[in-house]
Chains A and B, each alone.
Chain A
Amino acid sequence: MNPLRRGVRNAFRNTMRSVGVVVILAVAIALSISMLIARSAVESKISSVRSSSGTTITVSPAGAFGFAGNGTPLKAAKVNALLNLKNVVSLQESLSEQLSSTKTSLTAPSFGGAAGGTTGGFGGSGTFTPSIRVIGTNDPGNAVVGGFNGGGTEKLTSGTAFSPTSSADVAVIGNTLATDNKLKVGSTFTADGKTITVVGIYTSGSTFADSDVLMPLATLQTLASASGEVSTAIVTVNNIDNVSSVTTAIESALGSKATVTSTEATVASELAPLNSVKTITTYTLVGSVIGAALILLLSMLMIVRERRREIGVLKALGAPNRSIIGQFIAESTTFTVLGAVVGLVGGILLSSPIASALVSATSNSTTSTGGFVRGGPGGFRGGGSGFTPPSGGGAPFAGRTGLHFGGFSNTLETLHTSVGWSTLAFCFLFAIVIAALGSSVATGTIVRIRPAEVLRSE
């Protein structure tokens, strides 16, 4: 019987103690594995959110935020120059105008009841009839319909979109506006004295969002006598790592006349709960590894102390230190492997509920903007998600991912944990590290045991 077999056999010498050590190790290992899985899921989610949402920068006139725009419109020439900045891949410009009933043949939809919603807003009861908002854009596929609509996912229900460089008197209008004004594709309406042809109708599932008009940027600039002006520009950067430097470059280029907001910053604040969870899981992971190693270390020390005489006898019989050490390492490895097997199962079972609980708890404690973010009627919506084309044809609107403020927090809380080979490899590595750390001090003690002293005390 070689030292390894003796070591494995020794692990079961004291059943109660062995079970105790294995159970404690299993708990520590289960905790660390569940933390590892949760951390991996959180990292994946952060990466996913950042890569999908974090490469755009919004440029708006200084002081313009929210309802009516305000501020001095940006000069298109200066905004266009942003395309020349390093790492900028695209530029979306838009102009937003309010059409009062005196300037258009369109009738704005009425909204009954309180229009406030979660962020306050208009409040009150009765009938609320807002102006019609017209958005001119050079990128209809990525149209920013933002403002104070309720949000939603727009898709074309009929017709087509206009081309980005168009200056034709055409428009894509929301479904509510079309229904209230009995308009369909091919119909016309007037705006600022011009006849505009409806080329497409979209729906977003939100009455507010379905009350807007989208036009080519050049058309609206002419209509609103705002030639060379834009109210919003969205700059897309090639890599999330360059967002910060491009933001600085834009601020430098436009000076105090523009407010520059990167989605990275917004996303970063939204991701704060997930980052907290990541930190918690990292510390817990390290703590549980250290804890497990400490448990094994103390157990092995206790066992070595208990078997001092036996070690002395083995040395007297001519056992080399390496043989005795190998025997004890085999024993501690047996404890660890058993603990790792039980812990792996426990960790896999616990990872999902632990991750959800951590994200939920952290989100609840840090995301106080829930009402604002989820924006019911009256709340801000950060951006449209682009049109999904109707079945059967029509130019597809590519669809900007946007921030999807509505329901964004809910998305963050939905984590998908998974166990891959890396987890199993970690478990194996973890067991080896714990066994090695746990045996290290015991090994030193074994080497120092002098058989003469042990046997003299007989």
Chain B
Amino acid sequence: MLKVQSLDKTFHTGAGEVHAVSDVSFNAEDGEMVAIIGASGSGKSTLLALLGLLDSPDRGSIEIDGVELANLDSGGRTKYRSRQVGFVFQQFNLIPNLSAKENILLALEYAHWPNAERDTRADEMLAMVGLTADKGERRPAKLSGGEQQRVAIARAFAARPQLILADEPTGSLDKSTGQKIVELLRNAATSQRATVLVVTHDEKVAKQADRRLEIEDGVLREIA
């Protein structure tokens, strides 16, 4: 279970202070898919970076299953990211000179997944996202956008993380493919018992989530 309380993040720029995230609090259950919607510059990507421990909050707490994460040191954050968080990006961000399967194996390597089980797990993940073994041997450039995002989802879920953070996962895909990707995320969240936070500005995507949160000027509120 994800529990966020009173999270604050302020950036100091030449033009003054920008409150990117202001007093954000919310909970999310395992297997739940939560959509965070908001306009560009509303603070949703900053919130995602804080939850993924890519950035440190100025104040507040982030707990997963009762473990406080906001105050972890650099090494602790790296370890947390490798085992408890999966990222899905708008631009897929696969490593170009590694095959689809090797991209998945990379996440397993960083999570210190047992060596003997990595190959099987990577094959399982490829199957979960509907890619054949043949596609798994291809490099990202030889895959379509939808297939690349499937690989990214497989990579994100590979190490059985408790939290999946998806930043505009359908932003670079056509409607039909985007719809399939959201369904995939939805199903993976349920099957893997992971909390999935999807940042999107697409209402149709948001409506497929269990809950919707809206962020505006760094302030988060739940919407019906």
Contact = CB atoms under 8 A, between A and B. Distances in A.
27 contacts: A1-B98, A1-B102, A13-B97, A309-B93, A310-B93, A313-B93, A313-B95, A314-B106, A315-B54, A315-B78, A315-B81, A316-B81, A317-B82, A317-B106, A317-B107, A317-B110, A318-B79, A318-B81, A320-B75, A320-B110, A451-B54, A452-B49, A452-B54, A456-B46, A456-B49, A458-B89, A458-B90
B91 interface: yes
Contacts of B107: 317-318
A318 B49 contact: no
A317 B78 CA distance: 8
Given A10-B97, A13-B97, A318-B83, A458 B91 contact: yes
A150 B80 CA distance: 89
A78 interface: no
Interface string B95-111: 11110001001110111
A318 B52 contact: no
B55 to A, nearest CB: 4
A320 B89 contact: no
A249 interface: no
B52 A316 contact: yes
B167 interface: yes
A452 B110 contact: no
Nearest to A1: B102
A97 B190 CA distance: 117
Interface in A270-327: 309-310, 313-320, 323
- Interface pairs A-B: 4 shortest CB-CB: A318-B82, A452-B54, A452-B55, A318-B110
B45 A456 contact: yes
A455 B54 contact: yes
A410 B133 CA distance: 73
Given A13-B96, A320-B78, A455-B167, 6 more contacts: A1-B98, A6-B98, A9-B97, A315-B81, A318-B78, A318-B81
B157 interface: no
Nearest to A310: B95
A310 B89 CA distance: 12
Nearest to B49: A452
Nearest to B83: A318
A316 B83 contact: no
A455 B78 contact: no
Contacts of A452: 49, 54-55
A318 B111 contact: yes
Interface of B: 45-46, 49, 52, 54-55, 75, 78-83, 85, 87, 89-91, 93, 95-98, 102, 105-107, 109-111, 155, 167
Contacts of B52: 316
Most buried by A among B55, B93, B95: B93
Contacts of A320: 75, 78, 110
A17 to B, nearest CB: 13
Contacts of B97: 9-10, 13
Interface in A314-343: 314-320, 323
B172 to A, nearest CB: 10
Interface in A1-23: 1-2, 6, 9-10, 13
A223 to B, nearest CB: 94
A316 B95 CA distance: 13
Interface string A441-457: 00000000011100110
B87 A317 contact: yes
A458 B106 contact: no
Given A313-B95, A317-B82, A455 B105 contact: no
A169 to B, nearest CB: 95
Contact of B81 (A1, A317, A455, A456): A317
A280 B8 CA distance: 63
Contacts of A319: 78, 82, 110
A340 B85 CA distance: 43
B200 to A, nearest CB: 14
B81 A458 contact: no
Contacts of A309: 93
Contacts of A317: 81-82, 87, 106-107, 110, 155
A9 B97 CA distance: 8
B110 A455 contact: no
Contacts of B54: 315-316, 450-452, 455
